[in-house]
Structure 1
């Protein structure tokens, strides 16, 4: 977005000015826009001091205890883009570039760990979490060591340093977005765990659909802002920049944390899908009961109206069998009522026969299959594997062994019979 030179004469810091009077020779304020829409702030300083003398300044930069003309980094960044000042997020990474024309200028491991840990104290050898990519340490005059918050590169070309600078910008953006995604994922997990249970199914469905929609957006944002930017070799086919980029994401723990957050989102999606299935089952049972009630009511009305229709149709015909002087309840019309009743009884019998037939067919279809019908049957169907039923093989009876004297040896645990005279 912007790049501005700052007046080094107005530079002030908390720890640096208390131990050194050397001022930076140049200062530049950078503002970047990540592909995810995040705005990142970077401050570059040129110093003419030794590496160990930079440790107090690194500590000041980590806590943003620096100012130019009395204005902090938040205020300087806000005035450049015309926005209100806001506090900086906790994610940050520091780069230290050092020239090493000869192998003797390459800093030893003790100085490297002091720079990366921002503490001028010795440590035991091997007890650190530093990462040293092979491509950055291949030549005698170059070195590269990375920690979660500080990276030290010495003797590398300008394009390697520029690529490392942009990699740090993208890594900080990914770390900030990953933290936000994790916080939102935990919030929706709590919302799922505290969801109301004793409410109507459509209200439960609305809550679950909201969680599912948020989970899908978080998964997409995780892939776009964290997982995809971790791959630089696809965009820049260069060994040292790609090696530094991968090592930086590993040193900052972004790969492992992204996998953990992704697994949390997947489990949230599975739990939400299972809950939606349960809600659908409840709604389906309610719909079935509603359909049964409707069918029962319609069947009752249809049966009554059909019966009355047959009866009124008989009495409405112009025939000699219908006498207008007789009541409709006259015993002379008993055959007509018997015929209508027979039709109704035959209808119920037909329903019972069809229901019994359906139950028989369903019972046959759900009969237990043999144990080998599952996986082995699938193999035989898809791959043409020959299947052998284990039941057709019979273990032959073992014949008792014969001793060298022609006698049959007794079975174990049985006393031998006495010889026949």
Structure 2
């Protein structure tokens, strides 16, 4: 606790950290960037958040889980007179700070914090400038300034990649009495960044319960702007870290979706010819490997980021964190993209099964060709070996003065022919047996009756006899039919 703190009511009042007290508004805009570090290479450069930000009694929880939460890469104080705007003309900021955060996935998140005088409604044009980064510092655009500070080099075309579409704004205001708390109309004007009236029944603003518990505290969240009023300084810093985590997760989710669509395009335009099995397998294996990486990235960079209660046991922090992820739409979109990756993986698995079947059939054909060739060679060589072996023995049945085609050797030729015929008969009998078994399997009935009898045998189910049809009773006629011979008038 810093300062004297605030005492609670009761006989034994408990001291609490003092609520933030400042005469100016604090506007913080969080920008997602395409700049990414390997987290293993910047562990020493990135500091723990509690070493730079005032996190109060929650500092030790953030330090313990610093590998799972955003960390601070660098912080710079900007020269306020050098800042220029496109829409805002209400004055000059009191202070300006440029932050670079590193989220667990390695993404760099840029944050610009301004302390400005004026009211909430007067700050709406400045919020518009901040959201679209319509700011220059000493004539240099904000995107170029942030890229230079992080060491981002230009692309091949000479341009430096700027901020990504994912961004979120935080508006912090001090509240001393309940009368100073902003009303619903002011809240919607700030969150929608427009000075226009609205109908409350058509609004996407969320009010976390824990941030609106006291008369002097306000917490209102929108998809792009959030208003936090009347809370302690360490809660505001925790809110900032949650916004950094949410923006980083949203940006990574969009990148995962883009890569998944690339894989879908490759899957749809794969080769399908029977002679391209190897190319198909290679393509499918590459896509499958990429999908496994996307699955891990979706789980550890997006889905896990939406849960902070296990790391920081604070109701207000957890309430804001969960509502912010829901307001931005990260939770629902992550589930949708997860299903898309799962279904694409199932399609690839089915295609790989088809390729394996094709390769198996090709292997079977090669094996059959090999067996036929070997069997033919074995049969010919075996027959010749038997024949020449007979003529090569030293016996009186072999006459050197007779030709091998003489009728004297008819019995030996008949024996060889008999052996070949027996082999052919054995082959034909086995083939007939195989065909008979195939026909028997095809005639086997696979109906629901077989299933019920299996259940009756294994599980004790009871099979009832076929019920007798119930005779349909004739409905009594309400009137007597007229005789055909009776004329009708």
Normalising by structure 2, what TM-score? 0.77
Report the equivalent of 1:347.
423
Write the distance in 1 (CA, Å) between the matches of 2:363 and 2:438: 23
Which of 91, 97, 101 in structure 2 is aligned with 1:32?
101
**Are 2:76 and 1:16 aligned?**
no
**Are 2:114 and 1:45 aligned?**
yes
Deviation, 1:166, is 0.4
**Are 2:395 and 1:333 aligned?**
no
Report the equivalent of 2:448.
371
C-alpha spacing 1:378/1:77, structure 2 compared with 1 (3 Å): farther
Deviation, 1:375, is 7.5
Report the equivalent of 1:93.
168
**Are 2:459 and 1:389 aligned?**
no
**Are 2:277 and 1:215 aligned?**
no
Deviation, 1:376, is 7.8
**Are 2:387 and 1:311 aligned?**
yes
Write the distance in 1 (CA, Å) between the matches of 2:340 and 2:302: 15
Write the distance in 1 (CA, Å) between the matches of 2:288 and 2:161: 32
SS across alignment from 2:293: helix
Report the equivalent of 2:259.
184
Kindly indicate whether the alpha-carbon contact (under 8 Å) linking 2:271 and 2:280 is maintained by their aligned counterparts in 1: yes
Runs of 4+ in 1 over 6 A off after TM superposition: none
SS across alignment from 2:348: helix
Report the equivalent of 1:102.
177
Write the distance in 2 (CA, Å) between the matches of 1:219 and 1:212: 10
Write the distance in 1 (CA, Å) between the matches of 2:426 and 2:297: 61
SS across alignment from 1:144: strand
Report the equivalent of 1:195.
270
SS across alignment from 1:264: helix
C-alpha spacing 1:376/1:32, structure 2 compared with 1 (3 Å): farther
Higher relative contact order (CA 8 A, sep 6+): 2
Write the distance in 1 (CA, Å) between the matches of 2:349 and 2:264: 13
Unaligned runs of 5+ in 2: 1-72, 154-159, 478-489
Report the equivalent of 1:263.
339
Deviation, 1:83, is 3.0
Deviation, 1:263, is 1.5
Write the distance in 1 (CA, Å) between the matches of 2:452 and 2:466: 23
C-alpha spacing 1:50/1:413, structure 2 compared with 1 (3 Å): closer
Which of 324, 332, 342 in structure 2 is aligned with 1:248?
324
Write the distance in 2 (CA, Å) between the matches of 1:394 and 1:46: 85
Deviation, 1:413, is 6.0
**Are 2:412 and 1:412 aligned?**
no
Deviation, 1:219, is 1.6
Higher helix proportion: 1
**Are 2:347 and 1:278 aligned?**
no
Unaligned runs of 5+ in 1: 401-409, 416-421
Compare 195-204 and 54-63 and name the one that shifted more: 195-204
Write the distance in 2 (CA, Å) between the matches of 1:35 and 1:162: 18
Write the distance in 1 (CA, Å) between the matches of 2:457 and 2:187: 64
Deviation, 1:78, is 2.7
Report the equivalent of 1:139.
214
Q: Deviations over 1:186-208 (max 9, x none)?
A: 11111211222235211111122
